[in-house]
Structure 1
Amino acid sequence: MNTVVTSKEEILEASRELVRSQGWSSISVRSVAAACDVSVGSIYNYFDSKADLVAATVESVWCEIFRLPSDSAAFQDIQVCVAWMYGRIAYGCEHYPGFFTLHSLGFMHEEKDDGKQRMQQAWQHVLNGLSSVLRRDPNIRRDAFTESFTVEQFADVLFSLMLSALLRQDSDPSAVLEIVRRTLY
């Protein structure tokens, strides 16, 4: 058994690896403890329950999928950003099969509110990022947004379209990019 104190990030890394290799049903306090080579009690030092561990793993997966690129060019132009997001969604589908679908089906059956709150925080982070890119993009018409049609509303529409395409397993961003071009340029 590992006598070195395991960090929260190491636990989440082991949890993500279990999800990648064995699926979401493999996550339990015992399986994660075994993967970290620590006692079950060590996991409970960081997570109050299995539901807390799963919710933190979900949040960790969202953060990995939408990890910021080293090149900030993706965040200067909304078309480049949308293409980048589709690429990250494809990465998520490849590395975490069923992740997005499980969210749509509400797989956080234990302590649902915490899971929903963490997912909403991750989504809000994405929406804030889209809004920020929309504000910075020099190619967008100056009159594209108004008091009744805001940047935030359009970011929400874009993200909703991307999530819908994801659930349909449509990985082609061209339809969303066409909406961006026709609406904003």
Structure 2
Amino acid sequence: MNTVVTSKEIILEASKKLIREEGLNSINIRSVASACGVSVGSIYNYFDSKSELVAATVESIWSEIFHNSGRPFVCCSFVEYIEWLFENLKKGYQKYPGFFALHSMNFSQEEKPRGQQLMQNSWQAILQNMLLVLQKDVLVKPDAFDISFSPEKFVDFIFSHLIAALVRGDFDSSTLVEMIRRSIYLS
């Protein structure tokens, strides 16, 4: 058995593999140490507790799903970006079964704010990207938005539907895409 892990990334990859194979509840210091072939103390060199390990793994999965896709988000229309988000959520849902529903529940009561903050950080990045793509989309009607119906409110509305689809496990974006086209695009 190795006594030292060569990097934090190796630990996170082993943690993500455990989630794929056994679910989020399988993550703990001992199981990850075993998966890495190292001593428990080696994991503690990188993470002070199980909750820190889980939090870093959750953050890594969200990043993998939305930030490491290889596709720059500014190159497409808003509709294409929404379709891309749905596709990435579907892939993440399939790759990490149960992750979306369980990750916030895997923190103890005193650690829940940390788990919620990680989720909020990931979601805020998605919302910012959605708004940026919307603002750069040349197909959006010039009068599509006003003070009472701002781009920010529209993005929040679309994002809430995206999260609802995620909870339902429904990754068919066609209805939402059609609604977007009718609402904000030139005829």
Q: Same fold (TM over 0.5)?
A: yes
- Residue equivalent to 2:131: 131
- Residue equivalent to 1:11: 11
Matches of 1:145 and 1:36, distance apart in 2: 52
- Residue equivalent to 1:109: 107
* Deviation at residue 74 of structure 1 after TM alignment: 6.8
Query: CA deviation digits over 1:114-161, x for unaligned, max 9?
Result: 111011101111111111110111111112222332222211111110
- Contact (CA 8 Å) 1:127, 1:156: kept in 2 or not? yes
- Contact (CA 8 Å) 2:78, 2:133: kept in 1 or not? yes
Query: CA deviation digits over 1:6-43, x for unaligned, max 9?
Result: 21111111100000011111100011111112221221
With normalisation by structure 2, the TM-score equals 0.90
Question: What amino acid maps onto 1:108 in structure 2?
Answer: N
- Contact (CA 8 Å) 2:2, 2:38: kept in 1 or not? yes
With normalisation by structure 1, the TM-score equals 0.91
Give matches, 1:71-86, under 5 Å: 71-72=71-72, 75-86=75-86
Give matches, 1:82-101, under 5 Å: 82-101=82-101
Matches of 2:7 and 2:135, distance apart in 1: 38
Matches of 2:4 and 2:57, distance apart in 1: 22
- Contact (CA 8 Å) 1:127, 1:159: kept in 2 or not? yes
- Residue equivalent to 2:25: 25
* Deviation at residue 96 of structure 1 after TM alignment: 0.5
- Contact (CA 8 Å) 1:2, 1:38: kept in 2 or not? yes
Query: CA deviation digits over 1:165-184, x for unaligned, max 9?
Result: 12222221011102211221
How high is the sequence identity, in percent, across the aligned residues? 50
Give matches, 1:101-180, under 5 Å: 101-103=101-103, 106-110=104-108, 111-180=111-180
Matches of 1:33 and 1:159, distance apart in 2: 37
SS at match of 2:21: helix
For structure 1, list consecutive stretches of 5 or more residues without a partner in the other structure. none
- Contact (CA 8 Å) 1:6, 1:36: kept in 2 or not? no
For structure 2, list consecutive stretches of 5 or more residues without a partner in the other structure. none
Query: CA deviation digits over 1:20-69, x for unaligned, max 9?
Result: 01111110001111111222122112212101111111111111111343
Q: Cα 1:109–1:71, aligned 2, differ >3 Å: closer, same or farther?
A: closer
- Residue equivalent to 2:39: 39
CA RMSD of aligned residues (A): 1.7
Question: What amino acid maps onto 2:9 in structure 1?
Answer: E
